[in-house]
Amino acid sequence: MPESPEKTAPKWHHPAEVMKLHKLKQKKKQLQARIAGNVTKTPDVKTKEAFEDVFCARKRKNPFLSGGENKKNRIEPTAVLEESADQTLFKLLNQNAPNNITTESFTSFNNILDKINAKEKEENVEIVKAQGESWLPIDWGLKSKARLLSEKPFPWNQKLKISEEASGVTGFTRCLDTNCETQLDTSPNARFHQCCLFWQQPSLPWVNLFPRTVPRASAAGASLACNSVIRDSLQAAWSDSLRSLFQLIRTRQCPYFYACANSFTVLFRAAGICGHSEVHALVTPTTRGFRYMLKQEDIEFTMPLKKKRTSDVGYETQDSEESVKNIDEEEEATPDEQWMKSMGINAEDIKQINYTQAKILHKTECEVDNSDQSLILIEGVEVHAFYNFLINCKSTTATTGPLAGIPPTLLAPVAYHGATLTSLKVRENKVHVDDADYYSLDLSGPILPSTIHNLFAINPPEHSITISFNNIASTNSFSKLSLDDTENKLPEGNAVFIKENLADCGLNDKVLEHFAKPDNKHITNVDCIKYISDNKTYTWT
């Protein structure tokens, strides 16, 4: 019973809580004043001072009543009104921020119109991109996987009949166009199987030879490196295959082929492909040591993707030998050394200066190593010298690791000596994306540039489809080379002669016509291509 008076006793409040209660009361009064329409603007600094006065003494004049300070605040919106010359616009601007008058409120009607026009222009640009193009881009970069997605079932699947598989193999090996009259099975399954085939050398079923840049734990490579008989046999067979492919490229009976080593990839292209007048080879990525070996073999090359900051030094360009000499091989005194000696600088200091200069030179050359800028272009007769270099260079074959003793992987769309006919791995599935079900086909293996075009060629025009890719990042620079970066261009107006010269290269007529165009805008890196059946256009990213 004696505890009841203590429970009913008033609780002691902390000064901070009292201040919070005062603030809540003031905010409540402000809200009521706004609803009643008695307040138009809230001052910034002076309002804060008024709050402090209220907290210090209760009997104070209400700062929100009409007074001298409030008259000044009413003058500001009139200035805005005069500047904008539009009452409606002024009210719209003040609805978003009634308590703060900032410099953004002082906006003229012309500026508002400029912003609206700018937004309309941006929307127009997006609409143009959404329209797509009537042609497919060419991506010379290699891809290891592709996924086909469609809302409708595909006309083809991974289950093949005997006639479909046989007709697909026959059509691919003989480079036949199934759109023409033929006695082969021209069903969608047979044509799809024909698109999934390619030629590879070497082909070891127990070792994954693509991509070569991904290390895979395997004991097979070590055993091949230790066995000299197997290693020599693989190298001899690979040399014969490379020789066969190079002869096909020179005679324009093969449009292109790839040589995938552990540390670099080479793309050989025939004359006439992408507007080049001569056989040419692209190598990426490269290092200073690799470029130095080419220089030692007197193989001339250019680096078209390298950014030119100062005068080129080292072994990157054909004119480098005339501008810079190798300091290690330099025995005679240069004019700079003679000048330094005449200035009284001793030999030790001159040697130190030359060493520092060589170190800076080496650092500059190594900056682009293993990047897109390290891509080198070899054209004309120099391609034959580079071909001999690949056959005789022992460093192209790794001596350690899971792929030790195995030569670079050769990939081509046409048959050549010693090649193995290989097929992409196909897996059919159904996926659920964004609350919708899609039919999916996954392709695994080396996906060549012509394979992408062949897949879209067999797709019915009324069937929308999306293909996304897993790119090999080190080969993306193949698609960044512009025709303007080379001097060996085909003259304009020779498209008919180019197509006729490449008639036996093994590509479909429509695909060949696209690959022979000397147009830079048709070549780009793609991660995803979408075909829209409504307007028969392609969009890509």
- Per DSSP, the residues of 318-365 read TTHHHH---STT--SPPHHHHHHHHTT--HHHHHHHHHHHHHHHHHHH
Q: Are 350 and 358 in contact (CB under 8 A)?
A: no
Lowest mean pLDDT among 46-55, 148-157, 261-270, 311-320: 311-320
Band the pLDDT of 318: cuts 50, 70, 90: very low
pLDDT at residue 94 is higher than 70: no
pLDDT at residue 141 is higher than 70: yes
Q: How confident is the model at residue 329 (pLDDT cuts 50, 70, 90)?
A: very low
End-to-end CA, the chain: 82
Separation of alpha carbons 528 and 158, rounded Å: 22
> Which of 7-21, 354-368, 459-473 reaches the highest mean pLDDT?
459-473
pLDDT at 102: 45
pLDDT at 44: 53
pLDDT at residue 325, rounded to an integer: 39
Q: What is the DSSP letter of 399?
A: S
Name 474's Cβ contacts closer than 8 Å, sequence gap at least 6: 213, 264, 265, 284, 285
Average pLDDT over residues 43-53: 54
Question: Higher pLDDT residue, 360 or 262?
Answer: 262
Highest mean pLDDT among 256-260, 396-400, 512-516: 256-260
pLDDT at 26: 86
Tell me the mean pLDDT in the region 94-108: 47
Mean pLDDT of 481-499: 71
Highest mean pLDDT among 84-93, 180-189, 192-201, 424-433: 192-201
Whether residue 96 has pLDDT greater than 60: no
Other Cβ atoms closer than 10 A to 209 = 21
Q: Is the pLDDT reported for residue 269 higher than 80?
A: yes
CA 119 from centroid of its chain's CA atoms: 28
Split at pLDDT 50, 70, 90, the class of 9 is low
Least trusted range by pLDDT, from 9-18, 254-263, 327-336, 352-361: 327-336
**pLDDT reported for residue 357:** 76
pLDDT of residue 280: 95
The predicted model gives 289-314 an average pLDDT of 81
- The predicted model gives 115-130 an average pLDDT of 52
pLDDT of res. 82: 45
Strands (E), 175-297: 197-201, 256-260, 265-269, 280-284
**pLDDT average, residue stretch 273-297:** 93
- The mean pLDDT of 432-457, rounded to a whole number, is 93
Torsional sign, CA 46, 51, 55, 60: positive
Secondary structure class of 509 (helix, strand, coil): helix
pLDDT score recorded for residue 66: 57
Task: Give the mean model confidence (pLDDT) for residues 200-225.
Answer: 73
Q: Which residue has the higher pLDDT, 73 or 541?
A: 541
- Per-residue pLDDT, 495: 64
Tokens of 452: 């992408």
Report residue 153's pLDDT band, with 50, 70 and 90 as the boundaries. Answer: very high
